Amino acid sequence: MFLARVEGSVVSTKKDPSMNGRKLLLLRPQLVDEKDPTKFRAGSNTIIAVDSLGAGVGELVMFCQGSSARLAGGMREAPVDAVIIGIVDSVDVLGKQVYSARS
């Protein structure tokens, strides 16, 4: 599992039929900063992930990739490589809260 910030959405009108009706979001992975482990830094890549939880732009989410993504509910027959599996409430690193959805 990985952490990412939702940066936007992706719309595709022509796609594999098993992907019809699935919401696609653009994610930017969040990494623990090596210089200050109580902070995140944005990863250099972006990922398109299927969202079945109703995440929105700006939220921090958990996602999985690869064969694990197809184990998420309703994804077994879909050609997916990344799926949002959680919307994060808070993250603590080294005893310090580095993210809270409430603030």
Residue type at 47? I
Task: Give the three-state DSSP class for 9.
Answer: strand
Q: Are 23 and 9 in contact (CB under 8 A)?
A: yes
Kindly state which CATH superfamily the domain 2-100 is placed in: EutN/Ccml (2.40.50.220)
Query: Is the pLDDT at 89 greater than 90, yes or no?
Result: yes
The predicted-structure confidence for 31-53, as pLDDT tens digits, reads as follows: 999 899 888 999 999 999 999 89
Cα–Cα distance between 29 and 6 in angstroms, integer? 9
Residues making up the chain, counted from first to last? 103
* Cβ within 8 Å of residue 82, ≥6 positions away: 27, 47, 48, 49, 50, 63, 64, 65, 69
With bands split at pLDDT 50, 70 and 90, how would you rate the model's confidence at 74? Answer: confident
Residue type at 86? G
